[in-house]
Amino acid sequence: MDQKNLQKMISENDVQAIDLKYCGLDGKWYHITFPARRLETVLARGVPFDGSSIPGMRSVESGDMVLMPDITTAQIDPFYEVPTLRMICSICDAETRIGIKKDPRSVALRAHEYMKSTKIADRSTWIPELEYHLFDTVQFYSDSFSSGFNIASSESKDALPEDFDDLDGVSRQDVKGYHADTPFDRFYEIRQEMVDQMEKSGIKVRYHHHEVGLSSQQEIETELLEFPKICDDTMVMKDIIRRTALDYGLTATFMPKPVFNHAGNGMHFHMMLHKNGKNIFYKKGGYADLSKEAIWFIGGILYHGRALVAFTNPSTNSFKRLLPGFEAPVKLFYGLANRSAAIRIPKYANSPEEKRFEFRTGDATCNPYLAMSAIMLAGLDGIKNKIDPAKYNFGPFDDNVFAWSEEKKAGLVSIPADIPEAMQALKEDHEFLLAGDVFNEELIESHIKLKLAEHEAVTARPHPHEMMLYYNL
C-alpha cells in the first residue's frame, strides 16, 4: 500500500482517527491516537513519545523517541465505533528516524535483513499455533494480606459460573476436550468470528478447533506466513482474540498454565527457509527427507535451546506448563512426528513445498518479534557452523522419551526449570544473537533484568497453597 491508496481507504471508510500500535520489550501492545487530518504530518515526522515510561526501553535521561508508522500495515480497526484506521509502528531514534536497538519490531526487521545477507536464504515463512483459553469470568487479586484467583468456565462442571445451572446438560467433566464437537464446543461460533476477522486482516488461517483442555481451551493455526510480517500478525491475532471475547462477555488468556493439572497453552513455531523460490529444508532420501541445511538449522536451535527459552518462554507461568506428561517438551531433541520432542518434524508435511519442522517449547507470553528472531538467529548459526545435532545427543529420537529409563533420560539436555536458570543460560550463551547487529547487549541485559524482576515479584510473595501446606505447622 502506498500513501495514495491509504488516503483512499481513509476517505472510503470515513476514517476519523488513526491509531498507532507499537510493541514494548514486555511483548505488550501500546497505542497512541490522532485525528486523521494529521496523517501527512505524522507519516513525514512520526509521533514523539517518552520512551522512559515503557518497561525496559530507556532511562529518563534519554527518553525521546519517535513512532514511525508502517503504511503497509494499515487496516480498518473492526472494534471501534468511531471509524478508525490502525497502523503498526517501529520505535525510532528521534534524530535519525532509524529503528532503535531495543525496539522489538526493529529487531525482527534486522533479523530478516541479516538472513538475506548470509545468502543462506532470501525468504522465510512461519506458522504460529496459538493456544488459549476462553473463560466466562476470571477474578484475581494480590496484596499484602490476600491473594488468589477464581476462574469460571461453562464448559466444565468443575468450574461453572455462579447462577449457571447447566440445565442443558452440555457441561462435562473427566474427559478431554480435543476436537470436541458442538454443542460441547460452546464457543465455536465466537472462535469462527475471530477467524473471520483474521482473514479480513489478511491473515490466512489453516484451521481452528477446541483443544485438550476441557475448560474451553482453543487453538487457531495459520497457513505459512511471511517473516517478519508474521510477528505483526501474531500481535494482531492476539488482539482479535481478546477483543472478540470481550464483546461476548468472555475473557481470553494466553497464560501457559491457567488451570492446575490441565493442559497448558503453547505456541508452536513451524518454520521454513526459501532460496530462489525453493524450500531449502527439503532433500529426498535424508532423515525425514530433510536437507543438511535443515539438520544444521535444527542443530543450532537445540544447541542454543536453553538460551532461547529466555525469549520463547519468558514468564514464571511458562515453567508450570513445561512439565512431563502434558505433551510439553522438556528435553532438547528432535524426531519425526514425536510430540515429546522440542522439535517435531510433521509426517504430513512431506512434499518439497511443505517440508518443515516445528519448535514446540514456546508459549504466547513471549514477545513474538524477539522470540522468532532469536529462533531464526540460532538456526542460521547452526547452518553457518554446521552444528550436527547427533554430536550433542539431540537426536533424532522417534520414540516417547517419557517412557525411557531415568538413566537414559538423564543423558538428554533439559530446558531450564525456571526464569533464573533461563536467564543465566542467556547470559552465558548469546553471542549468536549479536550476529548482524540484530540484538545487542543492552537489549539482552534489559530483558534479563525485566524478567528477573517478575520472578522476584512472584517468589517473594506467600502462595495461597503454602497456606494449605504450612499454616498450621
The string of DSSP letters for 219-260 reads EEEE--EETTHHHHHHHHHHHHHHHHHHHTT-EEE--S-SST
Q: Which of the residues 77, 103, 185, 219 is marked catalytic?
A: 219
pLDDT of residue 61: 44
Q: Summarize the confidence of residues 158-174 as an average pLDDT.
A: 88
Highest mean pLDDT among 63-67, 272-276, 333-337 belongs to 272-276
Residue 129 appears among annotated catalytic residues: yes
Band of pLDDT at residue 63, cut at 50, 70 and 90: low
8 Å CB contact between 114 and 228: no
For 212-216, 258-262, 286-290, 325-329, which range has the lowest pLDDT when averaged over its residues? 325-329
pLDDT of residue 325: 65
- Count the neighbouring beta carbons within 10 Å of the beta carbon of residue 176: 15
pLDDT of residue 60: 46
Band of pLDDT at residue 10, cut at 50, 70 and 90: very high
Residue 168 appears among annotated catalytic residues: no
Q: Which of the residues 211, 233, 289, 293 is marked catalytic?
A: 211
Task: Spell out the alpha helix ranges (H) of 65-136.
Answer: 104-117
Q: Summarize the confidence of residues 438-455 as an average pLDDT.
A: 96
Q: Which of the residues 45, 339, 461, 463 is marked catalytic?
A: 339
For 49-58, 326-335, 369-378, 395-404, which range has the lowest pLDDT when averaged over its residues? 49-58
pLDDT of residue 439: 97
Residue ranges and CATH numbers for the domains of the chain are: 15-100 (3.10.20.70), 123-470 (3.30.590.10)
Q: Which of the residues 77, 103, 131, 293 is marked catalytic?
A: 131
Residue 50 appears among annotated catalytic residues: yes
pLDDT of residue 75: 96
Q: Give the tens place of pLDDT for each residue, 115-147.
A: 999 999 999 999 999 999 999 999 999 999 999
Average pLDDT of every residue of the chain: 94
Contacting residues for 19 by C-beta, under 8 A, at least 6 apart: 31, 32, 33, 77, 80, 84, 85, 86, 87
8 Å CB contact between 378 and 309: no
Has residue 56 got a pLDDT over 80?
A: no
SS3 26: coil
Residue 12 appears among annotated catalytic residues: no
Q: Give the tens place of pLDDT for each residue, 458-469.
A: 999 999 999 999
Q: Which of the residues 304, 356, 360, 447 is marked catalytic?
A: 360
Has residue 280 got a pLDDT over 70?
A: yes
Give how far Cα 350 sits from Cα of 29, 77, 127, 288, 355, Å: 37, 38, 16, 8, 5
Predicted model pTM: 0.95
Q: Which of the residues 155, 232, 289, 358 is marked catalytic?
A: 358
pLDDT of residue 82: 96
Q: Tell me which of 403 and 124 has the higher pLDDT.
A: 124
Give the percent of the chain with pLDDT over 70.
98
Residue 421 appears among annotated catalytic residues: no
Residue 358 appears among annotated catalytic residues: yes
Residue indicated by cell numbers 517478575: 454
Band of pLDDT at residue 327, cut at 50, 70 and 90: low
Residue 339 appears among annotated catalytic residues: yes
pLDDT of residue 247: 97
The continuous run of DSSP H or E covering 49 comes out as strand 47-50
Give the percent of the chain with pLDDT over 90.
85
Has residue 55 got a pLDDT over 80?
A: no
Closest Cα partner for 370 from 457, 305, 309, 304? 309
pLDDT of residue 340: 84
Has residue 350 got a pLDDT over 90?
A: no
Closest Cα partner for 157 from 148, 166, 149? 166
The C-alpha cell that represents 47 in the structure block: 509521533
Residue 162 appears among annotated catalytic residues: no
- As a whole number of Å, the end-to-end CA separation of the chain is 67
Residue 186 appears among annotated catalytic residues: no
Q: Summarize the confidence of residues 7-20 as an average pLDDT.
A: 96
Q: Summarize the confidence of residues 77-88 as an average pLDDT.
A: 96
Has residue 58 got a pLDDT over 80?
A: no
For 161-170, 255-264, 359-368, which range has the lowest pLDDT when averaged over its residues? 161-170
Has residue 46 got a pLDDT over 80?
A: yes
Q: Summarize the confidence of residues 81-99 as an average pLDDT.
A: 93
Band of pLDDT at residue 326, cut at 50, 70 and 90: low
Q: Which of the residues 129, 136, 233, 293 is marked catalytic?
A: 129
Q: Summarize the confidence of residues 406-432 as an average pLDDT.
A: 95
pLDDT of residue 7: 93
Distance, CA of 282 to CA of 119 (rounded, Å): 17
